Amino acid sequence: MENNKDNNVEKQQNQHRRHPNPHRSNRPQGSNVQQEGENKEQARPNQQKRPHFRPKNNKPNNNQNENASQANKNPNQQSGGKNEKRKNPITVSEDMNRSLQANKAAQDLRMNPWKMLDVNNNAKVRFTPLGGLGEIGGNMAVIETEDSAIIFDVGMSFPDETMHGVDILVPDFSYLHSIKNKIKAIVISHAHEDHIGAMPYLFKELKFPIYGTPLALAMIKNKFDEHGLRNDSSYFNFVTKRQPYPIGDFVVEWMHMTHSIVDSCSLAIQTPAGTLIHTADFKMDYTPIDGYGPDLHRLAYYGSKGVLCLFSDSTNSHNPGFTKSEASVGKTFEHIFMTTKGRVIMSTFSSNLHRIYQAMEKAVKHGRKICVIGRSMERNVETTRALGYVDISDKHFIEVHEVAKYPDNEVLIVTTGSQGETMAALFRMATDEHRHIKLKPSDVVLISARAIPGNEGSVSKLMNHIVKGGTTVHYTDLADMHVSGHAAQEEQKLMLRLVQPKFFLPVHGEYNHIAQHAKTAVACGVDERNILLMSDGDQVEITPKYIKKVKTVKTGKTYIDNQNNVTIENDIVLDRQKLAEDGIINIVAQVSQEAQKIVGKPVITCHGLVSSREMKRFTADIEAILETLLVSLKPELLRDHKAVENEIRNSVRKHVIKIKKRYPLILPTIFII
């Protein structure tokens, strides 16, 4: 009986398919758009795409009735429609089902290799960024267990326009002092200033073994020599890529990575809790200048074994697609050298050695001599040539005083100053202050770098000076004058897919950068619950079971006068800011203790607060405040000139806030007689 019922239902469905009711709005169960289209074609044979051959009697209705009758007799028989029920439906055998389940499990393990981690492992590791989060630059972090700790990079950053007289910023080392007994080493990823620039300042306080590639340690040695730390190069340990180095509770391996500097590396750090991967700064350049592409094989190797946590560069997380190869800049240089009849003056970061090398290589090809100007540029070029990274013969280089001996079309000048630094060689050339080089209208200046956030105004000022002199300058007007050294979204996705971590901590960037990087990670399969957005000082505990923030440690910046290599105290910078924003008032007066009044006329000077035409009235107001204050003071206060100065400072401050809404420095000097 059950079979007969099913057959009747199928008969009704088949009849409905062949004779659809145009007034009926509800489709039969299981119907779809494709079926509806096919049924319409069956109902209108003249409109079918395939040839339709009719019998000689040419009675389509009878044929339709015959077909319907045959279909009713054998409801399981296929009548020509694509979506008719098959006579013999496919059945899934037990063997096939086992294979499907096995493949599903294999795919799950392939996409989530971290499931191989031992969740019964109770080991813990902590990660604490001390710089590089919430900012661009100043990268520094600590990875630690109960008994061991390693420092990851020690970088500097640049001040903003409010930090008057400050050249660089270095991280606050207070936390390192608190754990100094368990710090085993400093590991360096690459030689950019925002990763090694603060090393001399750390070594003046604390000294630990340093592990890094030859170029990174050579750059650090140059800094140590400048700071009188020449003997501290004994702490250097030169590493070989793909070779593991035991350091305390950790085993660290350097993996080659492409970036905007030679010998950049990502790090695999094996800990008691599991493997951590730190990308450092990176991009996926498949056609690098030196031919050494990113070590994707090693990243995939660790990824397949199961990675506990990935720390990844977030700088370009808002950029879709891929970052262009460094080789694309060489094509722009080629075109400029072919079309320029005067001197070419190229400025970039002194550590961007692949960029510098490309410019030199094109210059040699077009018969130009190379002059390197700027202390850091000269030092870095000399270092990389000594290490064999730049292979250009001595005969192609000339000294700065020799430039005038050669025709303009035979000279390339490589110099510092791409960030508009007023003391750099390019700025002095643009303002006619350089001893040997004066810009000419026939010169072409190439600024092959992007302004670091906060330096946009300085770069614009530099360009204004260059253009006023009639010299041609190329900055952002040529598409491939500069390419970034940081990964865009598609490269970040590749890194995530290669490593397939359980936990993800986006690093290196402002908060909006790491937030966007987190979204990219979620799209690549990382569980949103396994991602934390951090700020400098946030300490995160990582185990195979969980990741969580446990505390916040002290962080901050130390201000450095790079001209003298000395620290500038925080209160000095605050005073400079106040002077710049609110001005200063100086008051010098003699006060009679007995009469409780000013003797003679006080000397009042003011800078940065009132204009010269307002000064007379402003001075009279201050004198009146002093007279009123002295009369009302208790006699015993007049015995202490410091107490009198404080009272005067408070009264004058209230008056200035009332009339000017400003908070100037007020410096009263009182002599009591």
- C-alpha to C-alpha distance for 319 and 1, rounded to whole angstroms: 66
Confirm whether pTM is higher than 0.95. Answer: no
Q: What residues have CB less than 8 Å from 433, skipping those under 6 apart?
A: none
- What class does CATH assign to 125-321+485-561? alpha beta
The pLDDT score that the predictor gives to residue 643 is 85
Rounded Cα gap, residues 500 and 283, in angstroms: 18
Instruction: Please provide residue 88's backbone torsions phi and psi, each rounded to the nearest 5 degrees.
Output: -120, 85
Residue 285: what pLDDT?
96
Q: DSSP states of 488-518 as a string?
A: -HHHHHHHHHHH--SEEEEESB-HHHHHHHH
pLDDT confidence of residue 56:
40
For 394-408, write each residue's pLDDT tens digit: 999 999 999 999 999
Class of the 327-474 domain? alpha beta
d(CA 256, CA 279): 10
d(C-alpha 128, C-alpha 548), whole Å: 12
Residue 86 confidence (pLDDT)? 59
What six digits make up the tokens of 290? Answer: 């030196």
Name the CATH code of domain 583-672 (choices 2.30.30.100, 3.40.140.10, 3.30.1330.10, 3.10.20.580): 3.10.20.580
- Of the CA atoms within 13 Å of residue 570, those in its CB half-sphere come to 5
How many whole angstroms separate alpha carbon 160 and alpha carbon 442? Answer: 35
Q: Quick one: DSSP state of residue 270? A: E
Distance in angstroms (rounded) separating the CA atoms of residues 135 and 170: 13
DSSP state string for 371-428: EEESHHHHHHHHHHHHTTSS---GGGB--GGGGGGS-GGGEEEEES-TT--TTSHHHH
Specify the pLDDT at position 478. 83
pLDDT at 179: 97
* Backbone φ, ψ for residue 115 (5° rounding): -70, -15
Count CA within 13 A, CB hemisphere, residue 319.
Answer: 17
What is the residue-wise DSSP string for 398-412?
--GGGGGGS-GGGEE
pLDDT of residue 83: 53
Bridge partners (DSSP) of residue 152 are: 141, 187
Q: Write out residues in the chain with pLDDT < 50, as ranges.
A: 1-80
Alpha helices by DSSP H, 549-588: 570-582
Matching fold, domains 125-321+485-561 and 327-474: no
Please identify which residue in the block is written with the tokens 């661009």. 136
Question: The tokens 């090809």 sit on which residue?
Answer: 365
274 Ramachandran zone, left/alpha/beta (phi>0; psi -120 to 50): left
Structure tokens given for 551: 């505390």
Q: Which helix (DSSP H) or strand (DSSP E) does residue 140 occupy?
A: strand 140-144
The closest of 481, 215, 193 to 359, measured between CA atoms, is: 481
Determine the Cα angle at 240 with ends 324 and 243, to 5°. Answer: 100
Question: What is the residue extent of each domain of the chain?
Answer: 2-73, 125-321+485-561, 327-474, 583-672
Predicted pLDDT at 17: 44
